A and B are shown apart, each in its own frame.
Chain A
Amino acid sequence: MDFSEGDLEAFRPRLRHKVCFRVGFACPDVDDIVQETMIRFLASVRNGKLESLDSVGAYLNGICQNVILEYRRRWARDGGDSSDNGERADPHTSEMDLFEMREAIALGLSELSERDREILRAFYLEERPKSEILAMTGLADENFRVVLCRAKERFRRIYNSAVKHRSASYQ
């Protein structure tokens, strides 16, 4: 079983996100953890330990979890507070990413109608169940899905164009 360089590079940002989510975006060792995970993953693949492509995500995730655990143990041994590490993890995207996308995000938001914002706010920020939002707004299930999909599509485009812009600037 072999992976092309493109396959492996596709894993990197996703792994990075997972690591940031677990140890916090402010952690200075995120890239080291990602790199160590990739190295171990490649070594395992070369040794034929990955038996099926169907389980590649779980396999990679397992390796990454181990690397994070080792990192936390090392951190605790060196005097840090390992239990605190995950607690501080920021559930959101990094400040650098947000800064780069700030204008696009503001534009994306301005394109949503006030009614759509209310619905999205109730769903994402107030975490109200769909049934309650439907009752509150009088929307049909189908319309609720349209609001959700339309907003997600806009923000998916913002994310993808930021990724493209970033990879173009690296070349």
Chain B
Amino acid sequence: MAGNHGDSVEREQLILRYLTRKLDTGEAEEFESHYLECRDCYEELRATELLIYALGQIVVDRAAANDVAIVRFAHRTELTKASLDLRALFETVRLQNESKVLIDLANVSRIDSAGLGMLMNCYCHAVKNRGALKLLNPNAQVKKVLNITNIDSVLPAHEDERSAVESFRQSGT
């Protein structure tokens, strides 16, 4: 399987499943053993990583209201360990010129510990740059997770974009 160079689509599917950790342990080790000795497959793997990263960049839309950057997902997504959108989100927040960031979670249907970790990374990045980060429109499930983990005490969630943007001004950040 891993050594199959014949079908380019099958090879891409294998690489994608490896990168998203969907191969079982044996399959993953077989693929690793193969790319360690196969320059072609290693290059394909690296090229796929770059391509996924590039495509991920347009999964997240950016807009600005006053001096607040509003970051939102263009499509429905899950902020879970297997999601490639996690990285796209962090990269988008990291590359903002504005230090005040509002993340619109309207298109996020589910979040897990990896997603929460990434939100906290975004928050730390904003704070390091003397900014602030807030959330907008989490659904009931996401809101519940934010509440259980007490993250909502650090990352307040708003229901309305205008009041969320206004809250940055009121809090003096």
Binding site for B on A (CB under 8 A): 10-11, 13-15, 17-18, 56-58, 60-62, 65, 87-88, 90-93, 98, 101, 105-106, 108-109, 117, 120-121, 123-127, 130, 144-145, 148-149, 151-152, 155-156, 158-160
> Is B44 interfacial (CB 8 A cutoff)?
yes
For B38, B46, B58, the residue with the greatest tally of chain A CB atoms inside 10 Å of its CB is B46
* Inter-chain contact B49/A93, CB cutoff 8 Å: yes
Q: Bound state CA distance, A60 and B29, in angstroms?
A: 11
Residues of B within 8 A of A90 (CB): 87
A-B contacts, 19 of them at CB < 8 A, read A13-B42, A14-B35, A56-B36, A57-B32, A57-B35, A61-B36, A87-B114, A88-B117, A93-B46, A98-B91, A109-B54, A109-B55, A121-B58, A125-B84, A149-B8, A151-B51, A152-B48, A156-B46, A159-B47
State whether A124 and B52 are in contact (beta carbons under 8 Å apart), knowing that A61-B33, A91-B19, A145-B9 are contacts in the complex.
yes
State whether A160 and B49 are in contact (beta carbons under 8 Å apart), knowing that A14-B35, A57-B34 are contacts in the complex.
no
* Inter-chain contact B37/A56, CB cutoff 8 Å: yes
Looking at the assembled complex, report how far the CB atom of B73 sits from the nearest CB atom of chain A, in whole angstroms: 11
* Inter-chain contact B29/A61, CB cutoff 8 Å: yes
Residues of A within 8 A of B59 (CB): 121, 125
B16: contacting residue among A14, A121, A124, A151, CB under 8 A: A124
Binding site for A on B (CB under 8 A): 8-9, 12, 16, 19-21, 29, 32-39, 42-59, 75, 81, 84-85, 87, 91, 114, 117
State whether A155 and B51 are in contact (beta carbons under 8 Å apart), knowing that A109-B57, A127-B20 are contacts in the complex.
yes
Q: Bound state CA distance, A97 and B38, in angstroms?
A: 21
* Inter-chain contact A60/B52, CB cutoff 8 Å: no
Looking at the assembled complex, report how far the CB atom of B162 sits from the nearest CB atom of chain A, in whole angstroms: 31
For B49, B50, B85, the residue with the greatest tally of chain A CB atoms inside 10 Å of its CB is B50
A125: contacting residue among B32, B43, B55, CB under 8 A: B55
Residues of B within 8 A of A101 (CB): 50
Q: Bound state CA distance, A56 and B32, in angstroms?
A: 12
B55: contacting residue among A98, A124, A144, CB under 8 A: A124
Q: Which residue of A lies closest to B82 (CB)?
A: A91
Q: Bound state CA distance, A130 and B12, in angstroms?
A: 11
State whether A125 and B36 are in contact (beta carbons under 8 Å apart), knowing that A17-B42, A91-B20, A160-B43 are contacts in the complex.
no
* Inter-chain contact A87/B81, CB cutoff 8 Å: yes
A155: contacting residue among B32, B35, B47, CB under 8 A: B47
B54: contacting residue among A15, A60, A65, A155, CB under 8 A: A155
Residues of B within 8 A of A155 (CB): 47-48, 50-51, 54
Looking at the assembled complex, report how far the CB atom of A69 sits from the nearest CB atom of chain B, in whole angstroms: 13
Looking at the assembled complex, report how far the CB atom of B85 sits from the nearest CB atom of chain A, in whole angstroms: 8
Q: State the 9 A-B residue pairs at the shortest beta-carbon distance, nearest first.
A: A57-B37, A58-B33, A156-B47, A57-B36, A155-B47, A57-B33, A61-B33, A109-B54, A155-B51
